[in-house]
């Protein structure tokens, strides 16, 4: 461990089963077991405090003169026990264990047993399309065969050589496609999609020779990366209708490989979320419940999987409930989302955290709980310099003005509106939509009669409708929500009711 606080974090993240295993594991270690006292006292702390820890240890007659060394030893011992505890928890770990056992057998000169163990490991790895491991195992078999002077090895070696040659090209394609997908995903998640440099990069990716075609003989993961790359490119270009079938083809691949679906459950669930998000962008909700149920039926077995499922599931679930006008149901799950934001913060990208916080704000706003909505707006780090989700952060600034207007905070409205205007202009996020809203708020500040106010609301609805027709439905982030809000004020009806009425039209 690099620091005492990291040891504290490690201990706090140990499950009950892992702690119980460590206690049993420690019994078989030589020497004094004073590190058990150290572990228990660190675990008793709510937050890490070196001085408090030393005081607690002193009451147990624990010698703290070499505490730093003791922490390092405890860290190493915990990691050893974790390796032993999780050795057979996943197919990948089982294959690695079999490979390690084969190395031990070889060192003992038990070459026939070594080959049998490598064959078992190779068979298990091949069944799960763990092609990189199969290649490593083949190289171990070749090394064993080359060092043998038995004549019958020549035929086996030729078979191994052919297998390496065939598998090498498969692994190379799979590796190149994965690298291509990772680069695309990084671009998609971190760069403003409408920027000329991003558009140019997407063009280059689209023309990449690896994305020209995919063959039936290619590996499972090559196919996954191929369709995912095409989906990301189409998605990033705003062609959601073309992206959607590519996301669905990925799910079809998973459903034809049920064993892989169980082993790579986190990746599978992530791909379900991608498909559902694509459906949401198209307003396709017919099979949403079906896929959400499939998502929830795949269990999470550790913190990392729980965190991944949290960020995917609640993002999609909130969008689904809000866009199918189930506003009260959305309000009910905001507490779960709030808890998850704290529990899984270290696993969330700034982009996903921003969107989750904004959608909680929007849930409160639609339910006209404006004080709560303002509280959530204020939790968004709008001044953090990240390119991702610039649209959500720009809309959040506009919504700050709207919410303060709803709450009647007239004293700060003028300065806030001016500040937001300048900030959006500086960030190159001041477009026709943002100007329309800020201009409306400025005009509302100058009128007092209800007739004039209603006229301004009517004009805003007309202007926003014009933007929808001019740029296309779904092209302006937040336009539908703000248009619904403007209509509710124009008609004198609750916001939720206006949105539900529009659904029936």
Give the pLDDT confidence of 167-187 residue by residue, as tens digits: 888 899 999 999 999 999 988
With a pLDDT cut of 90, the percent of the chain lying above it is 45
On the question of pLDDT at 388 being above 80, the answer is no
Residue 425 or residue 85, greater confidence: 425
**Do residues 285 and 323 touch, judged by C-beta distance below 8 A?**
yes
Of 2, 8, 22, 10, residue with least CA distance to 52:
8
Residue 5 or residue 400, greater confidence: 400
The pLDDT of 364-389, averaged and rounded, is 82
pLDDT band at 456; cut points 50, 70, 90 = very high
**Do residues 261 and 239 touch, judged by C-beta distance below 8 A?**
no
pLDDT band at 111; cut points 50, 70, 90 = confident
On the question of pLDDT at 151 being above 70, the answer is no
Of 243, 241, 218, residue with least CA distance to 230:
243
- The SS3 call for residue 194 is coil
Q: What is the CA radius of gyration of the chain?
A: 29
Give the pLDDT confidence of 219-272 residue by residue, as tens digits: 999 999 999 999 999 999 989 999 999 999 999 999 998 888 888 899 999 999
pLDDT band at 386; cut points 50, 70, 90 = low
On the question of pLDDT at 1 being above 90, the answer is no
pLDDT band at 207; cut points 50, 70, 90 = very high
Please tell me the distance from the alpha carbon of residue 235 to that of residue 100, in angstroms, as a whole number. Answer: 43
**CB neighbour list of residue 123: distance below 8 Å, 6 or more residues apart:** none
Report residue 250 as tokens: 């990925």
Lowest-confidence pick of 201-215, 308-322, 387-401 = 387-401
Please tell me the distance from the alpha carbon of residue 464 to that of residue 431, in angstroms, as a whole number. Answer: 13
First to last CA, the chain: 61
Please tell me the distance from the alpha carbon of residue 424 to that of residue 429, in angstroms, as a whole number. Answer: 5
**Length, in residues, of the chain:** 505
On the question of pLDDT at 387 being above 60, the answer is no
pLDDT band at 3; cut points 50, 70, 90 = low
- Report phi then psi at 112, rounded to 5: -65, -45
On the question of pLDDT at 206 being above 60, the answer is yes
Q: Where are the domains of the chain?
A: 4-85, 255-353
Q: What is the pLDDT of residue 381?
A: 78
* C-alpha dist (Å) from residue 21 to 15, 18, 89, 301, 408: 10, 5, 14, 17, 59
Q: What is the pLDDT of residue 505?
A: 63
Give the pLDDT confidence of 318-371 residue by residue, as tens digits: 999 998 889 999 999 999 999 999 999 888 888 788 889 989 999 999 999 999
Q: How many CB atoms lie within 10 A of CB 104?
A: 12
On the question of pLDDT at 51 being above 70, the answer is yes
Please tell me the distance from the alpha carbon of residue 126 to that of residue 121, in angstroms, as a whole number. Answer: 9
Enclosing H/E stretch for 89: none
pLDDT band at 15; cut points 50, 70, 90 = confident
Q: What is the pLDDT of residue 30?
A: 66
Q: Can you give 99-139 as a three-state secondary structure string?
A: HHHHHHHHHCCCHHHHHHHHHHHHHHHHHCCCHHHHHHHHH
The pLDDT of 110-120, averaged and rounded, is 90
On the question of pLDDT at 2 being above 70, the answer is no
pLDDT band at 73; cut points 50, 70, 90 = confident
Burial of 88: CB neighbours in 10 Å, binned 0-12, 13-18, 19+: exposed
The pLDDT of 46-67, averaged and rounded, is 85
Please tell me the distance from the alpha carbon of residue 419 to that of residue 335, in angstroms, as a whole number. Answer: 32
Q: How many CB atoms lie within 10 A of CB 342?
A: 7
- Report phi then psi at 60, rounded to 5: -100, 10
pLDDT band at 157; cut points 50, 70, 90 = confident
Task: Tell me the average pLDDT of the chain.
Answer: 88
The pLDDT of 124-147, averaged and rounded, is 88
């Amino acid at each position: 461990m690099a620091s005492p606080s990291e040891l504290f974090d490690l201990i706090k993240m140990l499950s009950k089963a892992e702690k119980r295993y460590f206690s049993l594991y420690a019994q078989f270690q030589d020497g004094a077991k004073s590190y058990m006292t150290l572990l228990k006292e660190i675990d008793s702390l709510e937050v890490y405090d070196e001085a408090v820890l030393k005081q607690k240890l002193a009451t147990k007659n624990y010698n703290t003169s070499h505490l730093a060394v003791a922490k390092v030893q405890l860290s190493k011992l915990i990691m050893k026990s974790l390796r032993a505890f999780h050795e057979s928890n996943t197919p990948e770990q089982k294959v690695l264990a079999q490979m390690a056992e084969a190395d031990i057998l070889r060192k003992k000169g038990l070459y026939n047993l070594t080959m049998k163990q490598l064959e078992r490991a190779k068979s298990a790895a091949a069944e799960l399309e763990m092609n990189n491991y199969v290649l490593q195992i083949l190289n171990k078999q070749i090394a064993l065969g080359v060092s043998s002077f038995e004549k019958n090895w020549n035929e086996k070696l030729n078979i191994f050589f052919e297998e390496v040659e065939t598998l090498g090209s498969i692994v190379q394609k799979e590796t190149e496609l994965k690298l291509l997908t990772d680069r695309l995903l990084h671009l998609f998640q971190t760069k403003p999609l409408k920027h000329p440099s991003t558009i140019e990069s997407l063009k280059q990716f689209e023309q990449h020779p690896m994305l020209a075609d995919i063959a039936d003989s290619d590996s499972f993961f090559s196919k996954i990366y191929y369709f995912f790359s095409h989906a990301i490119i189409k998605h990033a270009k705003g062609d959601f209708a073309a992206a959607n079938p590519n996301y669905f083809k990925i799910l079809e691949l998973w459903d034809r490989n049920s064993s892989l679906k169980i082993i790579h459950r986190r990746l599978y669930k992530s791909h379900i979320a991608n498909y559902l998000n694509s459906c949401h962008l198209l307003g396709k909700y017919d099979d949403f419940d079906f896929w959400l149920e499939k998502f929830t039926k795949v269990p999470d077995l550790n913190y990392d999987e729980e965190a991944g499922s949290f960020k995917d599931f609640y993002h999609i679930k909130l969008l689904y409930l809000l866009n199918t006008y189930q506003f009260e149901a959305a309000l009910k799950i905001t507490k779960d989302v709030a808890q998850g934001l704290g529990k899984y913060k270290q696993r969330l990208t700034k982009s996903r955290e921003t969107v989750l916080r904004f959608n909680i704000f929007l849930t409160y706003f639609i339910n006209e709980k404006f004080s709560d909505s303002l509280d959530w707006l204020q939790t968004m780090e709008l001044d953090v310099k990240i390119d991702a989700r610039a649209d959500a952060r720009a809309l959040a600034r506009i919504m700050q003005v709207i919410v303060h207007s709803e709450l009647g905070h007239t004293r700060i409205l003028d300065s806030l509106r001016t500040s937001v205007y300048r900030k959006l202009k500086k960030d190159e996020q001041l477009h026709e939509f943002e100007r329309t809203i800020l201009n409306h708020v400025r005009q509302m500040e100058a009128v007092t009669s209800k007739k004039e106010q209603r006229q301004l609301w009517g004009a805003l609805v007309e202007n926003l409708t014009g933007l929808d027709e001019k740029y296309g439905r779904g092209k302006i982030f937040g336009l539908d929500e703000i248009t619904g809000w403007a209509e509710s004020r124009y008609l004198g009806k609750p916001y939720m009711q206006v949105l539900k009425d529009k659904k029936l039209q």
